[in-house]
Chains A and B, each alone.
Chain A
Amino acid sequence: MARRSQGTKLHLAVLCLVVSCHAIGLSDLMERASQRSDQLPVLGMFSFSLDSHFPPMGRVMMPRPSMCHTSSLQTPKDKEQALRVSENELISLARSLLLAWNDPLLLLSSEAPTLPHPSNGDISSKIRELQDYSKSLGDGLDILVNKMGPSSQYISSIPFKGGDLGNDKTSRLINFHFLMSCFRRDSHKIDSFLKVLRCRATKMRPETC
């Protein structure tokens, strides 16, 4: 409901820009983007409510988070670093991360229905919702970079090499869980970057930050 309205807002923003309408300012776009990105981690959290069904052994054999395919992307590690990053880079990072997850989400959505989990139906719908949000956010960010200038349009390409989740039940579950954890973190990163960006862009309304 709220998410969809935000999606529509972004779509409207897109339309507006297409027809050279400058009614929506940068700050508004940022606001909406950050609102949208705010939802990503929430959505990403759902899988962790299903922890009970994951085999305990999975913890040991769980791949390390450093094995996320997006770990190759250099991102700020703390607040000082993050605040030192330029806006262009921030937006670039956000977009790169977002783009990096298009393929994995596709994989997850295709694997979810057959996942050996009692609530794979819920999982499947959540994955689809995630995809929608990612798509709309990506579109909004594209509009944003058009306003920000060409130097902000650089996107790092992060390939995803994971073919499938595995063959046996356990490994599939574990890999699924692992991918979702990677996504959750990256969604947090995107959200933080955009919010920092928003605060920097809206200098006239410091109370929002």
Chain B
Amino acid sequence: MMWRDVGVTLILSLILPVVAQGARHTPPGKPKLTSCRSPDKETFTCWWEAGSDGGRPTTYSLFYHKENSETVYECPDYHTAGANSCFFNKNETSIWVNYNITVVATNALGNNFSDPVDVDVVYIVQPHTPENVTVGVLEDEDGPFLRVSWEPPRKADTRSGWITLIYELRVKLEEAEEWEEHRAGQQKMFNNFSLHSGGVYMVQVRCKPDHGFWSEWSTASYVKVPDYIPRERSMWILIAVFSAFIFLILTWIITLNRSSVKHCLLPPVPGPKIKGFDQQLLKKGKPEEVFNSLVVQSFPPRSTDYEDLLVEYLEVYVNEKQELMPEGKDLRDVGCLESKSQSDNDSGRGSCDSHTLLMEKCGGVESKDESSYEEPELLQGQAGSWERLERGDSQVVDTPDSSDARVKTWPLVFSPSIHGSSDNHHYGTLEMPKQHSTSEITYSVPDHLFPTSTSFPHHHHPEYRDSLGEYSEYRHSRSPSTGVLYHWEAQHHPQAHSNFNIRNLERQKEATGFGLPPSRSMEYVEVQKVNQNQLVLKPLSSHGRGPSQVQFGRAVVDYSKVNGVNNDNVLLLQRQREMAEAGQYCDYREKEGAEAERYPTQQQGKTTKDGPVATQLQESTCLTTSGYVDTVPTMPTF
């Protein structure tokens, strides 16, 4: 008995907890409303989560009441939206009304109320995803692009304006990681550019009401972008074709003008052309004939040829003894002459005073009357108008026969470039000196007539030295009885100085002691005065550069042409019309003696070592053109 009771109690005590365990029921736990959403602002759904069920089957119910009334309603639909949900249909949905919703969990033991939630439908709108999302690749001039289009979710009434939706889409390459998001506003279509050719794109769209929540992303749409040749490549192809075309055209043009192109690029090397050189003869192997044919009859130029060229010149005859005018061929004479030049201040013009001008020849120099006359001949020929001055008495320097003394006025030969700068232009204008480097006599030649040919015989190269002082040496051999020896140093002048240049060269070669600057341009000596038998040439430099320059600058010709000699004492100078200032000829007479003191004293003062010996030449206001007795000193007076 007792043992039975203990056993039963023991068993019961063991079993009871187990039984009691399974049979413990509690009222359900507190449910909780998780969210309420309205997809269209016309209906809405609320979801809740259940608490512990308390061991018993629990039912949940939702109750609500609207803000204005106390009437509690129960959820009309628990199933449409799934478990633990309540769906409010259109009839039961009011907007701009607060719903106070409560969920109650009920089981056999009791119930439990959730916390109430106030819901206003207008604040909980979350539409469904957009529908009919279509993606396509379209082409336009810029290239392919992606066009995405969609439709609003079916339930949302956007047509009446009840809901206003704005859209958003995102795009990415399939293998990419990050999305590219774009806002599309209220439109239902979107274009996306700058695509990768050959790639697969994913596109998703979602929407949101003006005041509400974003919908879920639509399911991804895939689109493959076809391969296409990039525009850059096609452009390059076009450029290549075009340039090939251009190249072909250029080649064709060049081929057509082959010869001229060749001529342009590879100019033919000029071959030596010797006039009269007969190649055929050479081929035949008879050089003598070839060379003979080269002999030009017209060379050396005859005086007749130059008649047209030279206008006027002073022809100075040199007596035999005194070769004032060195033969052209005998350049050494020049040098000799130079050395023996009388002291005479030639004003560089090589004053055409025959006797005085002409340089004394060296011993080796024969009296070259003939030769000396050659020059005049030439000169004459060139100038075309020789003037001959005859002197009554022959100068010592000049021809011994005074009667024979002739002064050839040389056309202006020497360029008045006293400064020593080779003044080409000057030379050009004067042109005298170069061409006629007749000894001591400057040819006055009209500029234009002055031939540049160096064919002029350099027989006589009067040396005229610019007594401006540039030259270290000034030779003037002065002898009262003899004429004035004019040293005229020609400045080194390319080409034109034919005569003088040669003379210079010769001089340089032979008379380096002269110390004549090789690059001296030709200077003319001014005729200072005329003695009985002399023509005193005043060095130009003596009177300074200025005036001389001025003279040169203005008056092309500083020389005055000697018209004639009067009474053996007067040198009639004629003015050249080339004179810039003086356009007319005017004769002026030179008077010997004091009468002809026209030279400015300053000039005298500036005379070089040898002052003017002879009487000064007086010149009229008119100045002659080049090649004449230099009237430079007088120019300032004009």
Contacts and interface: CB of A to CB of B under 8 A. Distances in A.
B158 interface: yes
Interface in B521-570: none
Given A78-B90, A79-B95, A199-B159, A208 B186 contact: yes
Contacts of B187: 207
Interface in B93-152: 93-98, 120, 122-123
Interface string A165-209: 000000000000000000001001101100111111000001111
Contacts of B68: 66, 71
A161 interface: no
A100 to B, nearest CB: 15
A206 B186 CA distance: 12
Contact of B96 (A189, A206, A208): A189
Contacts of A129: none
B210 A206 contact: no
A47 interface: no
A66 B97 CA distance: 9
A80 B90 CA distance: 9
A195 B161 contact: yes
A66 B211 contact: no
B262 to A, nearest CB: 74
Given A42-B211, A79-B157, A196 B94 contact: no
B95 A77 contact: yes
A188 B94 CA distance: 14
B95 A78 contact: yes
Given A64-B67, A199-B161, A209-B160, A79 B41 contact: yes
A185 B122 contact: yes
A155 interface: no
B177 to A, nearest CB: 33
B211 A191 contact: yes
Interface in A76-122: 77-80, 82-83
A209 B98 contact: no
Interface residues of B, number: 26
A38 interface: yes
B479 interface: no
Nearest to B90: A78
Nearest to B123: A188
B160 A185 contact: no
B164 interface: yes
A77 B94 contact: yes
B96 A75 contact: yes
Interface string B177-189: 0000000001110
A209 B210 CA distance: 12
B42 interface: yes
A197 B122 CA distance: 18
A195 B159 CA distance: 11
Contact of B160 (A42, A191, A196, A208): A196
A206 B158 CA distance: 10
B193 interface: no
B252 interface: no
A192 B160 CA distance: 11
Contacts of B159: 199, 206, 209
A65 interface: yes
B68 to A, nearest CB: 5
A82 B98 contact: no
Interface in B416-450: none
Given A66-B68, A79-B41, A188-B211, A200 B96 contact: no
Interface in A120-162: none
A58 interface: no
A66 B67 contact: yes
A209 B161 contact: yes
A32 B318 CA distance: 121
Contacts of A71: 68
Interface in B54-73: 67-68
Given A185-B120, A196-B162, A77 B157 contact: no
Given A41-B211, A78-B94, A209-B158, A188 B122 contact: yes
B101 to A, nearest CB: 15
Nearest to B115: A59
A200 B210 CA distance: 18
A207 to B, nearest CB: 8
Interface core residue of A41, A71, A77, A79 (most chain B CB under 10 Å): A79
A79 B160 CA distance: 10
Contacts of B93: 78
A209 B41 CA distance: 15
Nearest to B68: A66
A2 to B, nearest CB: 13
A83 B67 contact: no
A197 B95 CA distance: 18
10 contacts: A65-B98, A79-B162, A82-B162, A188-B122, A195-B210, A196-B162, A197-B161, A199-B159, A200-B160, A207-B188
Interface of A: 38, 41-42, 64-66, 71, 75, 77-80, 82-83, 185, 188-189, 191-192, 195-200, 206-209
Question: Would you list the 6 A-B pairs with minimal beta carbon distance, nearest first?
Answer: A199-B161, A196-B161, A77-B94, A195-B161, A209-B161, A66-B67
Given A198-B161, A206-B159, 12 more contacts: A66-B67, A66-B68, A66-B98, A77-B96, A78-B90, A79-B42, A79-B162, A80-B90, A185-B96, A191-B210, A192-B122, A195-B210
